[in-house]
Amino acid sequence: MASRRKKPKFQAPTGMHDILPEDQPYFQKIYDVVERVADFYNFQKIEVPMVEESELFSKGIGLATDIIGKEMYILRTKGGECLALRPEFTAGICRAYIEHGFFNLPQPLKLFTYGPLFRYERPQAGRFRQFHQFDFEIFGEKKPVIDAQVIQVLYNILQELKIKNIIIEINSIGDSQCRPYYKKLLVSYLRSRENALCSDCRRRMRENPLRVLDCKEEKCQRIISEAPQIINHLCGECHDHFKEVLEFLDEMDLPYHLNPYLVRGLDYYTRTVFEIVEESEEGKRLGSLGGGGRFDPLVKLLGGRDTPACGMAGGVERIVALLKIKNTKLSSRSQPRIFLAQIGQLPKRRALKLFDRFRKANIRVAESFSRDSLKAQLRIADKIGVDYTIILGQKEALEGTVIIRDMKTGKQDTVKLEKIITEIKKRLKK
Ligand code: AMP
């Protein structure tokens, strides 16, 4: 009978998880693709602290959003500062843009980053309290071609990762000229149906009415489907901007779906908002893999100059989950072809030094320095499947030689210690 493991006293905090060695290649693969695509599109890497003044987020993302209202991890430091674990990247990158005077650099300025984020959400499948995103932002340009390029970058990263069946959901949520008018229209419509809305939406209707539009509750969905759509109430400029973004997507043959109910969780968005979602074979929308949009007012709101900007973020855990389901082949590390065995104290000391010589020569070597018996070490060498084992015994250590054992034939030769790297290189080439 399988023995039941006792629950350990300490476990990872709720909604957080260890990224185990077996999962590292998936994360690495994503970051490799992200770095490659970023480099190609001329994005420069930036890293911002994991914590920022909590006001940066409440001001930027908006107090009435779930992320700020319910999901921020806030901590008070011994010095009395009120800091928050970053729930997203954009506000921190804008802060850095302002702080370092990046507006003096040639614009548009393209930045990217990746790393962990924290949101105190209810943990469920694909939703964690600590998760990872990659994030791309373009500052200093309001033209629609930038929106299209941001979308193209996220789409290309997913394509490079061989994720198929993805579709871009896109909408425009207008700007400070047209959105207030639309908000009024929406609120007056929602008021007329208030009793049929869920309790969350009744609250949202007062605090952040646009958020009602992406409520997943069935009873709210019926009401939403008849609500006025912002796309029909955009001002001339927003309308033309959005039309151009869509024309670029058409030109690039990127598959998109106009989703008038897509508003996204953060207050700072203007005009284009989008998500890239996975579609089932039957065309059903599965989870969102990433998303973004334009945030023209944010830099100014946070104390900088008026700087239009647009960006996106991809959810790394969601992508890892997909890669695993799809059984994506990952290139594994090359196996060492050499094993270094040692017998006795002096040989062990020499072996440690020799091991480092191999590292400098860029030749991978396996070892089991904690073992003393040659038999046990040869067994391990055999299991790994190396071509040669280098044996350092007491006699060899004193004479300044080593034995090379050909693992296929069992033939052994003695070589001078200083010649070993050249000799191994020669044999590996054959
Ligand atoms: P957002 O920053 O909310 O626009 O999210 C961008 C992407 O990050 C989403 O499409 C998800 O793939 C991912 N994501 C957001 N929240 C979580 C979470 N709590 N756990 C895991 N992934 C998340």
Is 296's C-beta closer than 6 angstroms to any atom of ligand 1?
no
Low-confidence ranges of the chain (pLDDT < 50): 1
pLDDT of residue 334: 78
pLDDT of residue 284: 75
Is 66's C-beta closer than 6 angstroms to any atom of ligand 1?
no
Measured by CA distance, the residue closest to atom 5 of ligand 1 is 290
Ligand 1 atom with minimal separation from the 276 CA: 10
Give the closest residue to 288 by CA, choosing from 191, 214, 207: 214
pLDDT of residue 280: 80
Tell how strand 256-258 and strand 166-172 pair up.
Answer: parallel
pLDDT of residue 3: 56
pLDDT of residue 1: 45
Is 43's C-beta closer than 6 angstroms to any atom of ligand 1?
no
What is the pTM assigned to this prediction? 0.90
Measured by CA distance, the residue closest to atom 14 of ligand 1 is 315
Is 319's C-beta closer than 6 angstroms to any atom of ligand 1?
no
- Sheet with 338-342: list strands edge to edge: 365-367, 338-342, 388-392, 401-406, 412-416
pLDDT of residue 106: 96
CA angle centred on 7, ends 3 and 13, rounded to 5°: 145
Q: In angstroms, what is the span from residue 126 Cα to ligand 1's centroid?
A: 9
Q: In angstroms, what is the span from residue 290 Cα to ligand 1's centroid?
A: 7
What is the token pair recorded at 256? 């998109």
